[in-house]
Amino acid sequence: MQFLRSPGMNNSWFRNLTVGIAFFFTFLLFSSIGVLLFVLKPSEIISSLLSEEMFYSMKLSMLTSSASTFSVMCCSIPTAYALSRYSFPGKRMVKAVLGLPMAFPELVMGLALLLLFGHGFLGPYLEMAGIKVIFSKLGIVVAQFFVAFPYAVRVIYSTFEDINPRYEQVSRSFGYGEFETFRHVTLPMARSGLFASSVITFARCIGAFGAVLVLAGGSYMHTEVLPVTLYLNISYGNLEMAITSGILLMGIAFLAILSFERFEGGKL
Amino acid sequence: MSFLEIRDLCLDVGGFELSGIGLKAEKGDYLALIGPSGSGKSLILETIIGFYGLEKGRIILEGKDITDLPPDMRHISIVYQDHMLFPHMNVFENIAYALRKKVKDKKQIETEVKQVAEVLGISELLHRKPTTLSGGEKQRAALARSLVARPKLLLLDEPFSALDTRTREKLREMLKKAIADYSTTVLHVTHDFEDVWALANRVVVIRKGEVMQAGDPESVFKRPSPDFVAEFLGTNVLKGKVKALEGKLAVVEAEGLEIYSTDPAEPGEEVTVSIRPEEVILARETVESSARNILKGKVSGIFKKEHLVVVEVKMGSAEIKAVITPTSCEMLGLEPGREIYAVFKASNARIIR
């Protein structure tokens, strides 16, 4: 929306106040990021980057986040589509439950998952099938999945909502079934929104910490992903490693936000 | 049995209701559904195509009950006001998409797409993306896409209302030719009289989710039902013959009157002239003006319609209605039996065939 610019508006105290606050806190945020970048000498960063532990954790982070992003997308696209296009009994409840994890702490989420996959409920059955979720690499993926899933559903839902159902109707009228229409019309039209949401999902997965720590344990060189590396190394007092993993995470987040901003508007 | 029969269609979608709509159309009919906005016209179309499930009623196409068929089994196409061309495909792909389900042969698809593009004059645009087209071009592409599938029934949901007058006239011509080529039965929702005159052979008046009146355009507009007139004013319809051409004007002798029209016509042609009542000026004496039609008559009736006054003027066997404000009615001192002149421009006397 564009507001008319009246001459008196430019110097109103209210405008100055809001713009001032915007600048002040953006500056604080920016300088805190800057501090992170400039504390270490480049040689220290490079030697930390090349350490075996960092290499392990980077690789594990990439692998687990890719796997969980993939599974999140596979599940959130149908979920979001159902929520956007169909009405079914219990729809409100599904929506509310999906909204929950956004509000409640990741740590609690981890705890809940630990209990669910632990010895009380699903654990024994899964173990019989040879699947171990707790304190395993699979646990990382599961934790990341549940952290990122609700966000992905929300972004994809709004993407589908922006597509006029009449496009699908037109396609149906030419003899295409529901799934064919979804594949030929809805998915391609949602392309940029889907891309944006997979980027944001990846960023959330790679940054997921609380739930991962509780469910997968966060043990050295076993379930150690980047946020865990940061955490472990702070507790050892090994600041170089901690800061380097921080820089890596930040870099990934920054790239993600940049591409999200670029593609969310719909032009791909 | 009729080609298309809609029986007792009832539907309630969040505060809007269709109650007991009944429609009939024969093969090759061009049926116009006319009514003010919010009268449920579009809803009827979306029900016919299968967007909404019905509470009650039946839809029968070619003797087959299609009420419970999914939209992809109905062989009905639709063109919306906002064209709904798929933005990720170019015009060619959009049109071809409509064929792919029926025709597998690539060559044949290409031939048919080119053929329909020719009819609608979009051959040059086939490689363009919809976003780069003008409003009229988009609508032609959408029409092409719907026609190429050779649907049993084509639904048009105000396809021209977002276009300017000239584009609209051009498109009506093209549409007319195209549906003749493809011999399609059409249901056209509109609130524009011109659409009805130019295209339809039958008209159905819808108001507040109910059918008010149905018939051929002439009889519906000449004698609109009282409820209908509350929303629309109807129009004056006079039948006659083109007597001669006077420069660029056609002189039509209709029901004892001589009417000048700017619309193209051939001498000797049987035509119908339509004059909208709001375009007729009433005068107590002949006035020198740019209007070519000045007809003398007697006031035969005056009645109020909402905040306006409808005056009926009798001229021999013909009768012309005019709509004026209550103030003008008072100033002219109109009363039944009074002599009066009805004045209107030649460009407002539209020739219909």
Contact A175 B101 (CB under 8 A): yes
Q: According to the model, what pLDDT value does residue A74 have?
A: 96
Instruction: Give the ipTM.
Output: 0.80
Q: What is the pLDDT of residues B266-292, one digit of tens each?
A: 888 888 888 888 888 888 888 788 888
- Looking at the fold, whether B221 and B284 belong to one and the same domain comes out as no
* CATH code linked to domain A42-264: 1.10.3720.10
Q: How far apart are CA B353 and CA B340, in angstroms?
A: 30
Q: Are A217 and A139 in contact (CB under 8 A)?
A: yes
Distance from CA of B137 to the nearest CA of A (A): 18
Q: How far apart are CA A222 and CA A227, in angstroms?
A: 14
Q: What is the pLDDT of residues A99-142, one digit of tens each?
A: 887 777 889 999 999 999 887 788 788 888 888 888 999 999 99
Average pLDDT of span A172-191 = 94
- Tally A–B CB contacts below 8 A: 57
Half-sphere exposure of A265 (CA within 13 A, CB side): 6
Of B46, B51, B72, the CB nearest to A175: B72
Q: Are A57 and A224 in contact (CB under 8 A)?
A: yes
Is residue B231 in a domain?
A: no
Percentage of residues in chain B with pLDDT exceeding 70?
95
Task: Parse chain A into domains and list their residue ranges.
Answer: 1-38, 42-264
Average pLDDT of span A237-255 = 90
- The model's confidence at residue A10, banded by pLDDT at 50, 70 and 90, is low
Predicted confidence (pLDDT) at residue A1 exceeds the cutoff of 70:
no
Angle, CA A148 vertex, CA A260 and CA A238 arms, to 5°: 90
Q: According to the model, what pLDDT value does residue B229 have?
A: 47
Q: Are B125 and B138 in contact (CB under 8 A)?
A: no
Q: Are A209 and A106 in contact (CB under 8 A)?
A: yes
- Looking at the fold, whether B203 and B314 belong to one and the same domain comes out as no
- Looking at the fold, whether B313 and B222 belong to one and the same domain comes out as no
Q: What is the distance, to the nearest Å, from the Cα of residue B53 to the centroid of all Cα atoms in its chain? A: 27
Q: According to the model, what pLDDT value does residue B230 have?
A: 43
Chain B residue closest in CA terms to A178: B72
Q: Which domain holds residue B321?
A: 236-352
Contact A189 B50 (CB under 8 A): no
- Looking at the fold, whether B267 and B210 belong to one and the same domain comes out as no
- Looking at the fold, whether B105 and B213 belong to one and the same domain comes out as yes
Average pLDDT of span B19-42 = 84
Predicted confidence (pLDDT) at residue B202 exceeds the cutoff of 80:
yes
Number of domains in chain B: 2
Q: According to the model, what pLDDT value does residue A245 have?
A: 92
Q: How far apart are CA B280 and CA B334, in angstroms?
A: 15
Of A253, A255, A212, A252, nearest in space to A232 by CA: A212
More confident of the two residues A79 and A266: A79
> What single letter denotes the amino acid at residue B321?
K
Distance from CA of A3 to the nearest CA of B (A): 27
Contact B72 A184 (CB under 8 A): no
Q: How far apart are CA A15 and CA B20, in angstroms?
A: 58
- The model's confidence at residue B255, banded by pLDDT at 50, 70 and 90, is confident
Cβ neighbours for B289, distance < 8 A, ≥ 6 positions apart: B343
